[in-house]
Structure formats: C-alpha cells, structure tokens
Structure 1
Amino acid sequence: MSAMAEAEESEDRKTKLWETFLVFLVFYTAWVSPFEFGFLDKPSVPLSITDNVVNGLFAIDIFVTFFVAYLDKVTYLLIDDPMLIAWRYSKTWLFFDMISIIPSELARSVLPTPLQEYGYFNMLRLWRLRRASAMFARLEKDRNFSYFWIRCAKLIFVTLLAVHCAGCFYYLLAFSLPRSKKNMDWTCHGELS
C-alpha cells in the first residue's frame, strides 16, 4: 500500500471516529434537551457546564466542516475547493448548526420575556438528530453490519426518544397549570372533587 493510500485511510478513520463521537453527543443532547424543557425552571451548574462543553465540541465541528471535501451528487466528483465547500455549507446546514450551539444563558438574556423560560431554546438543539439519522443510514449500507439489526436499533432509539419527549412534555403541561386548576387534571392522584 502506498504512503498516499495509507494517509487517506488514516484520515478516513479519524473522520469516522469524530462523526461517531458526535453522534454520542447527539444522543446526550436528544435525552437532555427535552428533560431541561420539561423539568427544569432554571439551569443547574453541572448540567449547564456539560451543555456548554457539548456546544463547544459542535462549534469545533462547524469549523472543521469548512475543510471537509464532499461528493458532488451531479458529477460524482470529490469537491475539495475550500470556497465551494464553504459556499455549500453556508447554503445548507450552517444557519441551523450555529443556532444549535448558542448557550442557553445567552439566549435567555436576549430573547423576549415569553421565550425566556429555560428549555425552549434548548429544543432547537434537537436539530442535531440529523447526524444520528445519517449515521444509521450509513450503517444500513455497510455490509459489515446486519441491515435488520441496524433497523431494529434505529426503531428502538426513535421509540425511546419519542416516549421520553412525550413524558417531558406531559410533565411540563401538567405542572404549568395554575394552582386553582390542579384539582381538575390527571396529576391530582384521584383527588377530584
């Protein structure tokens, strides 16, 4: 194997490792964002620090994306021109990626009063789920993995995420009611009068 081919294979391995690491951070975001939205009124220090570290890692990924070549879907040529890469990224995902890395503390200080509730802005971080979807799509095409088991894992992940989000939203709805209406909802534990 030539030195050039070994270098390309090493870079490909590093890229896949980085993408896999980011997918694990996406799983963290997918689990924590609905929790923060539904259960927390204000940020806790350890959770806030962890969120900002994760946001920092995604900020690094935004920077790195400006230098990653892509395959043109029309010509099937590998595009490695930095200007074309930057133009394509700025036309597609850059805006949403930038919004998803804004710290919650900063968002709460600049948003209008009705949107200052802790967690509303965090829900925009669920945009990162597209990375998990792309990973599952890549694994489905990989002959080293069983298509059936990858689809099962994807189904389990989506189901768990949907149930988790629903639980967090229902909790928020139930406990955001005024005190006078509490005896009329499903959280009153049989105390209906």
Structure 2
Amino acid sequence: MRQQMKIENLAHTLEATASSVLGEAAFAMVDGPSDWDEPPQLLPAKDMIAARLQFQGPFTGSMFLAAPVTLAHELAANMLGLELVDPEAALRRGDAVGELLNMICGNLLPLIAGSAPEFSIGAPATVDCAAARAMAGSHPEDLRAVVALLVEDEPVEAALLLDDFPTEAATLP
C-alpha cells in the first residue's frame, strides 16, 4: 500500500532516481550524500551544461539537470558508445544531459504519482545554468527538491520544481 508522499521525501526520491538513471544509462559511478565526507563544491555556471524540461499531468512542473562540461562529454561518449576523442561526443554533450533528464523525469513521476496517472513530458532543452539555478532558488520551498550528486567525482545538480502538488500523490513502497 502506498502512503501520501510528503514534499520532504521528494529530494530523497529524486536523488535515488537520478543516481539509478545516471549509473545505468550513462554507465557512470554515482556517489550520494551518504558517501560524502562533505557536500560537493558546485562549479560556476559557465562550466556547466544544463537542460530543462516541463511536464503536465495530475500535477505540473519542470525539472533541470546540470553537469560539468567535461562530465557531459564523458556521459555523451558512454551513452553513444564512442571514444572520448570522437568529436561526436563533444557535439552531443547537451543532448546527453537532456536525454538523461528525460529518463530521470520519466522514472521519477510514477514514483511520485503512482503508475496509473499519465503525464505529458516536454522535450528537454539546453538552458543557461545560472538561469536554471536562479529559477530553482526562487521557487517555493514547499514545492521544490534540489539535490547534488557526485558523478565520476564531479558535481551534478538536479531539481524538481512543482507548480502544484496533489494530495493523492504516492510514495515508494
């Protein structure tokens, strides 16, 4: 039986989902907060590639994912089966971050809402990391979850920003 998910549980669920997707889809080593001696130092926005998408369904909102440029390059190579020196990996960095975000969102929403509700997930778009951080920082605290992960020893940021939150939302069993 599923219990109502409280907003404070969203960060944990987002962290677990992002860790799973990054590890499985991008073949990356992921460390969460329980593995850290201290939180990772976030990089300046200019050194990051960020993607954002919006979703609609029983509740609406958006998500963003930001990764260092060097890590995005490695993730693209891993996902496409390319060598790091292949120029295609550099060209697909933003696409890789966007596709990982899409997979995180697609796995996260059923964990929040249960498997029955349907969502429409928009296409991810590369966005300015500073703007994405500002949007997350100004979003109401009771409707946001922001997490940091260490992926291949580099800091990655993920955020879930809800416009509303239904009372029938579910949680992990």
Between structures 1 and 2, the one with greater strand share: 2
Q: Which has the higher contact order (CA 8 A, sep 6+)?
A: 2
Normalised by the length of structure 1, the TM-score is 0.24
Between structures 1 and 2, the one with greater helix share: 1
**Based on CA coordinates, which of the two structures has the bigger radius of gyration?**
1
Normalised by the length of structure 2, the TM-score is 0.25
